[in-house]
Structure 1
Amino acid sequence: MVTFDEFRAMALDLPESAQEPTWEIETLRVRHKIFAMGAPEGGSVTVKASPEDQAELLAAEPEVFSVAPYVGRHGWVRVRLDLVDREELHELVTEAWRRTAPKRLVREFDARHPGRGAGTP
């Protein structure tokens, strides 16, 4: 089980990440672009993913992952915090950030964190 506070900490640990309340939920952004969101009192969060990653996650663990409301058609995934593996969520949050952050910021992150590149928690 992962708490919302732990999820938020994972996201805010990434370069230039910020939290902003929007639509009665907390959005996590990099340079004003949303890469993850959720509500502290909710039991799930939403992360940006590709449609291909979304399909793989739903096929592998449909009890943990589902198509996110509103933005699911773009690949976003809803994640149940009470069932998700902490390391898997960390990887998903990092990948969501990577999809959203400017390429130069991602390159700088990769240079400072060897071994934490795409697909590595």
Structure 2
Amino acid sequence: MATIEDVLALGSELERSYPVHVYGRLKFRVKQIVYVAFSHDETVMEFAFPREEREALVGGQPEKFSLPAPSDMRFHWVRAQLSALEPAEARELVVDAWRMVVPVKVSRAYDLAHPEGPG
């Protein structure tokens, strides 16, 4: 079972990333782009995810994942119940979301420095 503490450090450890609080919610940003956001009670993690792949993710594991609110369907987002994720899986989702908003060279540098992955 993952908790916010399992991914909290990534918000400031990933290159160009920083944590912010917006209206009481913790979010991870690169510049002004939010790539991860947590619910007020920190039980749900919303994260950037390829729009064309999200139906398969949600349909394949509905106990873990759900689509964003109707007003956010235009964005590349998916929601996950943290309690349904393993800590390594939650970290991987954060890193993959971060990859969507950083230049490829930054992502490649991370891969070289962390060949074992974010787990």
Same fold (TM > 0.5): yes
TM range (shorter): 0.7 to 0.9
Q: Is it true that 1:49 corresponds to 2:54 in the alignment? A: no
Which residue in 1 is equivalent to 2:82? 81
The residue correspondences of 1:85-96 to structure 2 (distance < 5 A) are 85-96=86-97
**TM-score normalised by L of structure 1:** 0.81
State the Cα distance separating 1:98 from its structure 2 match: 0.2
Rounded to whole Å, the distance in 2 between the matches of 1:85 and 1:49 is 18
SS for the counterpart of 2:90 is helix
2:3 paired residue number:
3
Partner residue of 2:106? Answer: 105
In the TM superposition, residue 82 of structure 1 has moved relative to its aligned partner by: 1.1
- Deviation, 1:40, is 5.5
RMSD (Å), alpha carbons: 2.1
Q: Which runs of 5+ in 2 are unaligned?
A: none
Q: Percent identity?
A: 25
Gaps of 5+ in 1: none
* SS of residue paired to 1:108: helix
Contact 1:4 1:40 (C-alpha < 8 Å) held by counterparts? no
TM-score of the superposed pair, with normalisation by structure 2:
0.82
The CA deviation at 1:3 is 1.3
Structure 2 match to 1:36: 36
